[in-house]
Structure 1
Amino acid sequence: MSKIVSHKEYFINRDISWLDFNHRVLQEAENKTVPIIERVRFLGIFSNNLDEFFRVRVANIKRMTLWGKGATGFLHEDPYVLLNLIQEKVIILQSRFDHVYEKILKELRKENIYMIDEKKLTKDQLAFTRSFFKHEVRQWLVPIMLTNKLPFPELKDRSIYLAVKLSKSKEKGKPTYALIEIPSDELSRFVELPKEGSKRILMLLDDVVRVGLEDIFSAFQFDKLEAYTLKVTRDAELDISEDISESFMNKVSKSLKNRKSGQAVRFIYDSEMPKDLLAVIIKGNKLSKGDHLIPGGRYHNFKDFIKFPDIGGQRLKYSPLPPLEHPDLRNAVSLLSVIRTKDILLHFPFQSFDYIIDLLREAAINPNITTIKMTLYRAAENSRIIKSLINAAKNGKNVTVVIELQARFDEENNIQWARILQDEGIRVIFGTHGLKVHSKLILIREKVGKNMRLYAHVGTGNFHEGTAKIYTDLSLLTCDKNIANEVEKVFEFFKENYKRTTYRKLFVSPTNTRRNFIKLIETEIKNAKKGLEAYIIIKINNIVDEEMIEKLYDASCAGVNIKLIARGNCSLVPEIKGLSENIRATSIIDRFLEHTRIFVFCHGGQEKYYLSSADWMVRNLDRRIEATVPILDKTIQSQLKDVLNIYLSDNVKARVIDSKGSNSYVEANSEKPIRSQIEVYNYYKKLLDV
């Protein structure tokens, strides 16, 4: 690799690249071809994404400011400079967000859906709101008076507050200040007022509380009450104790309690807030400019807009795409019997996730099944996956679940699931010290006479019924002995991780994933130099690992044709003459979150196909337990190639990835608009007619 390639202009900073991704999410909220209710929800997704970005990435960079020169070497950027770049970009995006929100409100009104505040209430609406406040809201409010005599209250992460300034117009004395937490965990953020003819009228809970301010502070006889929204985002890092006498689950539980009071990494406030009130809040929270003080609009915590009410009829939302049956499974009495005869590839949410639940249910009651093992990174609230495992244990099966307690923002849920599973007699393993378990594996053992038969699942996504409806993911179900035996080896590693394990079929991080992908790229480079056909197709979530990117640059320089679809972070800069001119990179954002990781290598005409739980990031390749599986079935390979070609042909939702973060839409080279997610759905639908 040429020395010049190490310069930062050839690697987009991962955090700047992530903000470019979130810009693409905001584009969906701007896009008038997207149904209006879905556009509102994209505002919520954008906001939720940004919250998590500050909790994790910005918090991490702030911690690195304590490293001195070491941080600059690690980040390839002075952390203070990077924080300023992030601040500038976030303010631009926030301004754009506010503009989009105002436009959407106008378009909602055209559909007879009105968002109003407390200043626009009619007499009848005011009476309704006061009654709603009295009977539903008041009980949840705990106003806190801000005085020098008491410690300043610690503002909670994920909450929104009204900062209140109270004064008496006839007196010139010092005003009184207070804080009120909006009870959005206990009540819906959206309050629907009585209909007016065909009009649907919504009000935010924040404004209902504003209506009740006089009632809340009636004992003080203030006649001037002003309220302004604010929120704090805190560092989400878990600092886990090294106390060897304490169980890992207890350590995680304790660190979760500490997270709630993590260092502030962002403070957003209503830009109309009076300077004296703002100064009191900033001083009380011991905030500084380095804590990303961001002026905003009247409302915050737009993540709640993900749950915007279903009002106004179906035409204001996406048309339903009911999950399809799999052609080989639709009439199957037994899934296990089908898997014995052929590999099955399921593609969610285009095809039904129920097949995974049905597989576990069948295994739970099959008298010949002795053992079920699976990894669990995230699970749904009322998980049928968990219920199926419990049912299997009750039916005498030996059930083992490897559960990742440090799945970001699902730690508390996973602790609860671990306790429930343990109470049901299921063996729970908490992964491996220092390595997150991110692989998506199931192993089922069946007794056949004196022998054993193994069934395996290797996938790209979580065993989560909720996300399976909105994330695109792949699951391979196979009885292939070599693959199943190696999946069993992974589970043995969870149990006895001091043993060294070799894999010939699977790529397993941190053992051999990086090495094997590099070998595959190097084969393409060698073939290109020989004048043979050489190409690579990659569909991935994030690609930021510099060694892997440099290998792709090497491949491009050798003449390897590379097509890359990266949904999120992409530090690779495509189409630089003499470096990456043979790399084309796009990103697709649409109704489903693209989550599949697929890799195709020409390999001298003997194409090799893989699906993986791993992105090309240092953490996935070196610090997590991930699994990549080869696709050996020729029919499945052909279908995967068809699906990839559809994604590569997208001229409706695909954006060009470039060094400027322009996110320009791919220009249509054909008369027919190709929206890949709809075309993929139709592709699978046609397979049912064959």
Structure 2
Amino acid sequence: MDTPEFSAPPLNSPELYINREQSLLEFNIRVLAQALDENLPILERLNYLCISCSNLDEFYEVRVASLLQMAEIDATAISADGLNIHEQFERISSKAHELVAEQYRVLNEVLIPALDAQNIRFMRRDSWSDSQKAWLENYFNEELLPILTPVGLDSAHPFPRILNKSLNFIISLTGKDAFGRNSGRAVLQAPRALPRIVQIPAGETDSGPHDFVFLSSIIHEFVTDLFNGMTVKGCYQFRVTRNSDFFVDDDAIDDLMMAVEGELAMRNYGDEVRLEIDANCPEETVNFLLARFDLTPDRLFLANGPVNLSRIQAIYNMVNRPELKFSAFKPGLPNALKRDKDIFACIRKQDILLHHPYESFNPVIEFVKQAAADPDVLAIKQTLYRTGVDSPIVAALIKAARAGKEVTVVIELRARFDEKDNIGLAAKLQEAAAHVVYGVVGYKTHAKMCMVLRKEGNTFRNYVHLGTGNYHPKTARLYTDYGLFTCEKELSEDVRRVFMQLTSLGKVSKLNKLLQSPFTLHQGLIKMIDREIDQAQKGKPAKIIMKVNAVVEEQAIQALYRASQAGVEIKLIVRGICCLRPGVPGVSEHIEVRSIVGRFLEHTRIYAFMNGGDWAIYAASADLMNRNMFRRVEVCFPLEDKKISGRVLNDLHANLNDNSQAWLLQSNGQYVRASAGDDPVYQLQTELLKAFAQ
């Protein structure tokens, strides 16, 4: 009897896709796992716990909120993995509740005892000494009581508006107040200006050098002082997470800045998407709050500790114990920039690649500063997505504009959670007479570009910087990114044309070397994947290596599946979301997916194709996501200098050799941490620090 031939499923089959939201939750599980790594300093482990919590906040503010909005439009909508919205909610809720339970277990059973061993103590109320309690009571009376405003709930005092992610208390009362009222409940909102963690001074009490108390514990202990003559039967902290992903209708507005400012004012009061409440809260009170916020039990989370875990991150800066943190490092500099302080002269000699944070971000700042001060510089053009409030780059652009140079800045006002800062930066630049535009209607400007036009004798030369990350000095110390300086004629002309598209009205310009979304980037990447397929079908070696933050876009995933079926070796280094399912027989057995989670946030976007042995390597601002390919302005630039492309290729192989901080995606959608086994431990980020940092 003949054995039936194996038939691979169609490439759009739901079974070949991992749910996007579940994949994002898996990333947070990997982040939380860092808190359990005993090889890491204890304060860094606490930091990872807090990051996993703030990530989950954003997940509910944006992703869950988006699904809820979709459900109102079409609850039958099916995701790529074949789930309707109701089924997605069920899986998200189950995974999120497991994650939260693990977060509190890690805090209570692992980190607090480990911190206590280092004389860093979170003091519970039942452990306060008499002197500590006396100091805390005085602190309550002097610092808290004057600004706390409890609201008794009755017909004249409706339930107050609760700010997004704020700390609040629901209080059960008995007895009558001065007017004979007894509603039985009150709500107390903790002002955001108050610290969520208070340090007990060692000199005034019998405390150790690092004894801390949660603000919630202080309020719990002395809350009766707020209700004179009444009895507090219970006091329970709670927190509400709201929809923070606002919508601006580009076609219905005349002034984008005013529209964004209007939406920002409402962000703290968007629709409720999650309720966190003290695990000891009585069921009656829990149900009261669920009904008040119109939430179902699957969006209720019981907290076995502070409801705002991410605020514990304050401890990191409150404890001056360098030995309990990552070792400090000084970013290095490329040899070319060590020898010559004239950055334009350096770029004329050769292209220069920077790899942050191992190499300093200062040359990027210096590039703009020198341009601002150089009398031969006529114009500066810059995109800004996230850059920070006190940006030295913005200061240099303002200086250049005031010096009479032509300064054009494309600011993306809708960079999520940075909208307010970007509005402020836009106003400062406009005051200095810089030309400020907000990109293209309907498309976020996510490209990372800076161009300087310089007059040199009788000619003009464009110097450009292109990057995979933002022009943000602080995140350049925390995120891994590449930046390229070049004055190569065709590439710099491409950058000029993209800026023209962003600031003027006109047809799409044909570009020489850049790939640009939403026009040529997606099809360009597909074309290069197809080229590797062609090589494999001819029996020649074929390989693709991509390093991105996310892989979601279905057409690109299907192109990679086709490449795997043709025998192309594919290595994907994906920090966060990956909807591609590796290891499926007949479809993706030639695809390996790994995620590296370490000291620095892996943020580089690199697309590398073997190209018959003459590797084609591109760096980009874009991930393999629908939004990056079709709803944003992005640029993807070739690394043509052989030394630079060879260096980046070596970096990619180093990523693939990591056997300590890498996680391997399994075909079931879960990740397994890589193990060195009998081999020497190789940790990518540690090795790069050794190689480049000083």
1:99 partnered with 2:105: yes
User: Is 2:78 aligned against 1:72?
Assistant: yes
Q: Tell me the secondary structure at the aligned position of residue 77 of structure 1.
A: coil
2:541 to 533, 540, 544: 533
- Relative to structure 1, the CA distance from residue 289 to residue 274 in structure 2 (aligned partners, 3 Å threshold; closer, same or farther) is closer
Q: Determine if the alignment matches structure 1 residue 365 to structure 2 residue 373.
A: yes
Shift of 1:244: 5.1
Please list, as runs of the form range in 1=range in 2, the aligned pairs for 1:110-509 lying within 5 A after superposition.
Answer: 110-167=117-174, 176-183=184-191, 185-195=192-202, 196=206, 198-218=208-228, 221-241=229-249, 246-289=254-297, 292-310=299-317, 311=319, 313-509=321-517
2:667 counterpart letter in structure 1: S
| Ranges in structure 2 where 5+ consecutive residues have no aligned partner | 1-6
The aligned counterpart of 1:60 is 66
1:639 is displaced (CA, Å) by: 1.2
Residue type of the partner of 1:264? Answer: E
Give secondary structure in 1 for the equivalent of 2:673: coil
What CA distance in whole angstroms lies between the structure 2 residues aligned with 1:559 and 1:307?
50
How far has the Cα of 1:643 moved from its partner? 1.4
Q: In structure 2, give the amino acid aligned to 1:206.
A: S
The CA deviation at 1:45 is 0.4
RMSD between aligned alpha carbons?
1.9
The residue type equivalent to 1:42 in the other structure is: Y
Report the CA distance between 1:497 and its aligned residue: 3.8
- TM alignment of 1:614-629, pairs within 5 A: 614-629=622-637
400 and 207 in structure 1: CA distance in 2 versus 1, 3 angstrom threshold: same
Partner of 2:3: none
Q: TM-score, normalised by structure 1?
A: 0.95
Please give the per-residue CA displacement for 1:344-378, whole angstroms capped at 9, x wherever unaligned.
11111111111111111100010000100100001
Deviations 1:515-539 (A, max 9, x none): 0000100000000111111001111
**8 Å CA contact retained: 2:132, 2:207:** no
* Structure 1 residues 488 and 542, CA gap change in structure 2 (3 angstroms): same
State the Cα distance separating 1:186 from its structure 2 match. Answer: 1.3
- 2:476 alignment partner, SS class: helix
Show the counterpart of 2:666: 658
The Cα of 1:139 is off from its aligned counterpart by: 3.4
Does the 8 Å CA contact 2:522/2:629 hold for their aligned counterparts? yes
Residue 151 of structure 2 contacts residue 157 of structure 2 at CA under 8 Å; is this kept in 1?
no
Classify 1:322/1:661 alpha carbon distance in 2 versus 1 (closer, same or farther; 3 Å): farther
Query: How many equivalent pairs are there?
Result: 679
Structure 2 CA distance for partners of 1:344 and 1:520, relative to 1, 3 Å? same
Q: Distance in 1 between matches of 2:504 and 2:583?
A: 46
Q: Which residue of 1 aligns with 2:4?
A: none
Deviation for aligned residue 1:73: 5.8
User: Which of 559, 573, 580 is 2:581 aligned to?
Assistant: 573
Q: What is the CA distance between 1:663 and its match in structure 2?
A: 2.3
Superposition pairs for residues 8-19 of structure 1, below 5 Å?
8-19=14-25
CA 1:294–1:661: 2 relative to 1, 3 Å: same
**Contact 2:169/2:188 (8 A) holds in 1:** yes
1:28 maps to which residue?
34
Q: Which amino acid is the alignment partner of residue 215 of structure 1?
A: D
Could you tell me the percent identity over the aligned residues? 34
Instruction: For residue 204 of structure 1, report the CA deviation from its aligned partner.
Output: 1.3
Identify the match of residue 655 of structure 2 among 647, 662, 671: 647
| 2:557–2:580 contact (8 Å) kept in structure 1 | yes
Cα distance, 1:197–1:238 mapped onto 2, change above 3 Å: closer
Structure 2 counterpart SS, 1:320: coil
Provide the C-alpha distance between the structure 2 equivalents of 1:41 and 1:245, rounded to a whole number of angstroms. 41
Q: Give CA deviations for 1:209-229 in whole Å, capped at 9, x if unaligned.
A: 2233122222xx123342211
Conserved in 1, the CA contact under 8 Å of 2:15 and 2:81?
no
* Aligned partners of 1:168 and 1:224 also within 8 Å: no
Contact 1:436/1:623, CA 8 A, preserved across alignment = yes
Aligned to 1:66, what secondary structure does the other structure show? helix
Match for 2:610: what amino acid?
C
How far is the alpha carbon of 1:669 from its aligned partner? 5.2
| Closer, same or farther: CA 490–670 of 1 in aligned 2, 3 Å | farther
How far apart are 1:672 and its partner, in Å? 1.4
Task: Map residues 78-93 of structure 1 onto 2, 5 A cutoff.
Answer: 78-93=84-99
Question: Does the alignment pair 1:47 with 2:57?
Answer: no
User: What whole-Å deviation, never above 9, does each CA across 1:235-282 have from its counterpart, x for those lacking one?
Assistant: 112232567564111011111222222111111111211123223322
1:14 alignment partner AA:
R
Q: Aligned to 2:521, which of 508, 513, 528?
A: 513
Q: Secondary structure at the match of 1:447?
A: strand
Which has the higher mean CA deviation after the structures are superposed, 269-278 or 528-537?
A: 269-278
Checking the alignment, whether the CA contact within 8 Å between 1:539 and 1:564 is kept in structure 2 is yes
Per-residue deviation, residues 121-160 of structure 1 (Å, max 9, x unmatched): 1111111112222232233322222224433222111212
Q: Is the 8 A contact 2:18 2:669 kept in 1?
A: no
AA aligned opposite 1:226:
G
- C-alpha change, 1:670 and 1:390, in structure 2 (3 Å) is farther
Q: Distance in 1 between matches of 2:243 and 2:34?
A: 28
Do the aligned partners of residues 160 and 16 (structure 1) sit closer, same or farther apart at CA in structure 2, a change above 3 Å counting?
A: same
The 1-side partners of 2:315 and 2:160 are apart by 31
- 1:177-216 alpha-carbon deviations (Å, 9 max, x no partner): 1122223x31332211123475520111222222331222
What is aligned with 1:559? 567
- Contact 1:22/1:46 (8 A) holds in 2: yes
State whether residues 116 and 203 of structure 1, in contact with CA within 8 Å, keep that contact through their aligned partners in structure 2: yes
Counterpart-to-counterpart distance in 1, 2:379 and 2:463: 10
SS at match of 1:477: strand
SS at match of 2:326: coil
Following superposition, the deviation at residue 648 of structure 1 comes to 0.9
For 1:213, the aligned partner's letter is: V
Report the Cα distance in structure 2 between the residues aligned to 1:134 and 1:142, rounded to whole angstroms.
13
Larger deviation, residues 109-118 vs 430-439: 109-118
- Superposed CA offset, 1:370-414 (max 9, x none): 100100001212111111111111222111110001000111111
Paired residue for 2:602? 594
Q: What is the letter of the counterpart of residue 332 of structure 1?
A: D
Structure 1 unaligned segments of length 5 or more: list them. none
Contact 2:581 2:669 in 1 (8 A): no
Change in CA separation of 1:257 and 1:74 when aligned onto 2, cut-off 3 Å: farther
Taking the aligned partners of 1:144 and 1:479, their CA distance within structure 2 comes to: 64
1:317 shift after superposition: 0.8
TM-score, normalisation: structure 2: 0.94
